[in-house]
Structure 1
Amino acid sequence: MTKDLKKNIMYQYLMLLVIAATAGHQGWRTLFNNLAVDEVGINGFQVGVIQSVREIPGFLALLVVYLLLVIKEHRLSAISVLFVGLGVALTGFFPSFYGLIFTTLIMSVGFHYFETTNKSLTLQYFSIEKSPFVFAKQKSWTAIANISMGAFIYGISHVLSLQSSFILIGLAVFAMGVWALFWKPTDKNIIPQNKGMVLRKKYWLFYVLNFLSGARRQIFVVFAVFMLVEKYNYSVSDIAILFVVNNIITYFISPYIARGINRFGERKMLSAEYFFLIFVFMGYAYIENGLLVAGLYVIDHVFFGFSMGINTYFQKTGDQKDIAPSMAVGFGINHISAVVIPVIGGFLWMINPQIPFLAGAILSIVSLGFVQLIRTNKLK
């Protein structure tokens, strides 16, 4: 199967863009908290505001369905990566609270729109048996890109300023996006997608799972690393090392997640994710050891890989022609809570840093209940 995939031009195209988008986003994530805390001097509430702004384009990802009326989907993927690079590069020129809001918004538009089109193209171009492995390969290449970026930042952190690092990384990602614009990876035999917005009652569980996934994920993304920096004084190098370790594990475990989905099904795999995340969030709230919390961060990231099951669940139960609009709608729903939670969570953090993580544990319990309703008897 791997040899067949490597010959597929769309597979090659998506992997190139996955590497570019991931490198840009990972570079931004690795450097952001130290720039925000050490040089700009923002507090937990302001971090929440910036992270909420970062998720607005995710919520607006449903507008992708209208962009696809005038731009081909694969082309929109490449343009999105251009925006990732531009936003990261500009961060180096605007090291202030409002500057971070502005540049974060640009980067986020690119990253979220790419994520939407990437999922859609993967489900359109690869079969039910192959799509989990394509998602897994993307995770593996994501891990490689993250490891490389972590090592790169670790190497330049003693030589370049944070601002210069943002500029250098952003320009490299922008160049990869330009290169992708010259590719022609499409296949005329792919089923045409419905145009415009698609909301169907029969997809309600897919929508609910996306909503809960977005809420849980934001608590992890916004506050886990921020806690390591603020509470345990992790440096740029420390965060870079953590990401490298994190992604080495992800690289090796991703193929097994794909096999697990094909063997055990989405319900069992997602149930395992949500069950263990209950204890991970409880650990964030009550463990008072920086190394153990970093270990929880790695475990959390591993289980996040299981979330590909939400998309493969739709592939097995939804209409093939609804994939592109439904991925956009699902991604937008995923980010409804993501726009609000960072601000609310930032306010609650100022009261007690344990509260956002306890909320994450509750959301995991609710998700565990809903996932029991998954049924995937339909094959294509």
Structure 2
Amino acid sequence: MRDFFKSKEALLYVMSIAMLFSFSAWMSLLNNFVVEVASFNGSQIGILQSLREVPGFLAFTVVLVLYLIAQQRLAYLSMILLGLGTLLTGYFPNAIGLYITTVIMSIGFHYLETLNQSLSLQWLPKNRAPIILGRITAVKSFTGLLVFVLIFAMMKYWDVPYKNVYLFFGGITVVIGIVCWIFFEHFKDDVVQEKKLSLRKEYWLFYVLTLFAGARRQIFVVFAGFLLVEKFGVDIENMVLLLFVNAVLNIYFAPKIGKFIHKFGEYLTLRLEYLGLVIVFTAYAFVDNIYIAFGLYILDHLLFSMSLALKTYFQKIANPKDISTASAVSFTINHIAAVFLPFVLGLIWLYSNSLVFIIGALIALCSLTLSFLIPRNPVQGYETTLKKREIVP
């Protein structure tokens, strides 16, 4: 057990598990909670999701906070804040209350996710990173699966109210954060990280793909589930069951996706992901059959697992000392569209939900086009096919 608390890889797993306990519960309950309890419409859910992404847009402030506190301790504080925001959610079933608790939860989540990505890329060796990240994704899926099973049992068989479900899962994350702070060794940085915010021109393709990834992710996260509840009347038990299926498939496929990236490279993986998203979003726009909608939701979720190829692409082209700041900046870029897009698309949704998904298909098409600029073997100095190979030792 002592060796466990001295393992960097073990800490990455624990942070991911803690994050999923709160965030999976928050997300899986959200659409039904806001419709059934808070009586939200499409515009209000768009506002809430836009507010949720504001802390993501401000993720670059992680670098400023790192002047005051080490990455690892800041991750623990973020974990506790995420849990706190989640456990308070069910006690404020109105627009203002949900907006406030969402921002609290989101600050913790986005800081933790930023730091988790930064520490993963710093701590994991490049030749094993895709495989380990695939395994971590599988563990996250298993955690999500456990959350969905517990929520299903709590609400279907034990009639636990929403507020107590939020309290339970948020509380677990808070406890894990405190335990990690007390027991895990504080690891020294192998490479001293830059703490100066900057946009580096050599990472431009990564930045642009990250921007588009944030935009299309919002369409899936905000509106795919909302479509199932509003258009097809899917209840909370069936939503959780659908998420359960997604988690089971991810447990099986995520490690294989990691191995696929390791064997065939980021360039091919990302092309397949973006092509699949063009097809899925186009189908979302016209789907009228609930079972086809279920299938699209599952396929969409599996394609999202392939996005870890973008992280390993960046790890290969980045100067090691840039990883912390570039991770924070990329999170901000990822959320530029996310801050306003849910609100704008929420208004569009009131007139045409099909148009929302057509926009998603066009964004995915832009990503697909740009993915052809990713080299077969990207390295620092050879970030895109537009450059001559110039390896930096």
Normalising by structure 1, report the TM-score.
0.96
1:128 maps to 2:126: yes
Structure 1: 5+ residue stretches without partners: none
Change (3 A) 1:166 1:187: closer
Whether the 8 Å contact between 2:5 and 2:183 is mirrored in structure 1 is no
1:156 maps to 2:157: no
Whether the 8 Å contact between 1:198 and 1:322 is mirrored in structure 2 is no
**Deviation digits for residues 172-226 of structure 1 (CA, Å, limit 9, x no counterpart):** 2211111111144444361111112131111111110100000000000000001
SS at match of 1:129: coil
Change (3 A) 1:78 1:7: closer
Distance 1:282 1:78 in 2: 40
Whether the 8 Å contact between 1:88 and 1:169 is mirrored in structure 2 is yes
1:202 maps to 2:202: yes
Task: Report 1:170-189 matches (<5 A).
Answer: 170-188=170-188
SS at match of 2:306: helix
Distance 2:124 2:19 in 1: 21
Whether the 8 Å contact between 2:131 and 2:262 is mirrored in structure 1 is no
Amino acid at match of 1:99: G
Distance 1:47 1:377 in 2: 40
Amino acid at match of 1:129: N
Whether the 8 Å contact between 1:13 and 1:185 is mirrored in structure 2 is no
**Residue of structure 2 in register with 1:277 after alignment:** 277
**Residue of structure 1 in register with 2:58 after alignment:** 60
Whether the 8 Å contact between 1:10 and 1:186 is mirrored in structure 2 is no
| Shift in Å, 1:94 | 0.6
Change (3 A) 1:14 1:185: farther
Q: Indicate which of 65, 69, 82 corresponds to 1:84.
A: 82
Whether the 8 Å contact between 2:63 and 2:197 is mirrored in structure 1 is yes
**Deviation digits for residues 82-135 of structure 1 (CA, Å, limit 9, x no counterpart):** 111101111121110111100111111111111100111011011111111221
SS at match of 2:333: helix
**Residue of structure 2 in register with 1:368 after alignment:** 368
Amino acid at match of 2:74: L
Task: Report 1:248-263 matches (<5 A).
Answer: 248-263=248-263
Distance 2:169 2:312 in 1: 33
Distance 2:25 2:352 in 1: 29
**Deviation digits for residues 124-176 of structure 1 (CA, Å, limit 9, x no counterpart):** 01111111122112211111111000000000103211122111221122111
**Residue of structure 2 in register with 1:378 after alignment:** 379
**Deviation digits for residues 43-73 of structure 1 (CA, Å, limit 9, x no counterpart):** 0010000000000111111111111111111
Q: Indicate which of 33, 39, 43 corresponds to 2:31.
A: 33
Amino acid at match of 1:235: D
Change (3 A) 1:95 1:317: same
Q: Percent identity?
A: 37
Segment of structure 1 superposing worse, 232-241 or 168-177 = 168-177
1:69 maps to 2:70: no
Distance 2:258 2:110 in 1: 23
Task: Report 1:213-292 matches (<5 A).
Answer: 213-292=213-292
How many residue pairs match? The answer is 376
Distance 2:12 2:183 in 1: 11
Distance 1:90 1:115 in 2: 20
SS at match of 2:188: coil
Q: Indicate which of 126, 130, 135 corresponds to 1:137.
A: 135
**Residue of structure 2 in register with 1:301 after alignment:** 301
Whether the 8 Å contact between 2:53 and 2:339 is mirrored in structure 1 is yes
Amino acid at match of 1:303: L
**Residue of structure 2 in register with 1:355 after alignment:** 355
| Shift in Å, 1:30 | 1.2
Q: Which runs of at least 4 in structure 1 moved beyond 3 Å after TM superposition?
A: 5-8, 183-189
**Residue of structure 1 in register with 2:339 after alignment:** 339
Distance 1:68 1:18 in 2: 20
Amino acid at match of 1:314: F
Amino acid at match of 1:126: L
Distance 2:265 2:126 in 1: 12
Distance 2:260 2:267 in 1: 11
Whether the 8 Å contact between 1:20 and 1:173 is mirrored in structure 2 is yes
Normalising by structure 2, report the TM-score.
0.93
Segment of structure 1 superposing worse, 183-192 or 164-173 = 183-192
Whether the 8 Å contact between 2:21 and 2:172 is mirrored in structure 1 is no
Whether the 8 Å contact between 1:211 and 1:336 is mirrored in structure 2 is yes
